[in-house]
Amino acid sequence: MTLDHLDWPFFDAAHRALAGEADAWARANLQGIAHDDVDAACRGLVRALGQGGLLRWCVPAEFGGALPRLDSRALCLVRETLAYHDALADFAFAMQGLGSGAITLAGTREQKQAILPRVARGESIMAFALSEPQAGSDVGAMRCSARRDGAHWVLAGEKTWISNGGIADVYTVFARTDPAATGARGISAFTVPADAPGLRIAERIDVIAPHPLARVAFDDCRIPAAHLLGEEGAGFKLAMATLDIFRASVAAAAFGMARRAFAEALSFARERTMFGATLADQQMAQAKLADMTTAIDAAALLTYRAAWTRDVQQRRATREAAMAKMTATESAQQVIDAAVQLFGGRGVRRGEIVERLYREIRALRIYEGATEVQKLVIARDLLRS
Q: Which residues are catalytic?
A: 368
The Cα–Cα gap between 59 and 70 comes to 6
Q: What angle do CA 315, 237, 177 make, to 5 degrees?
A: 165
Judge contact between 342 and 284, C-beta under 8 A: no
Q: Cα 359 to the chain's mean position, in Å?
A: 16
What is the DSSP secondary-structure string of 354-380?
Answer: HHHHHHHHGGGGTTTS-HHHHHHHHHH
The Cα–Cα gap between 231 and 209 comes to 37
Question: How buried is residue 350: exposed, middle or buried, by Cβ count under 10 Å (0-12/13-18/19+)?
Answer: exposed
The Cα–Cα gap between 199 and 190 comes to 13
Computed on alpha carbons and rounded to an integer, the radius of gyration of the chain in Å comes to 21
What is the DSSP secondary-structure string of 274-319?
Answer: ETTEEGGGSHHHHHHHHHHHHHHHHHHHHHHHHHHHHHTS-S--HH
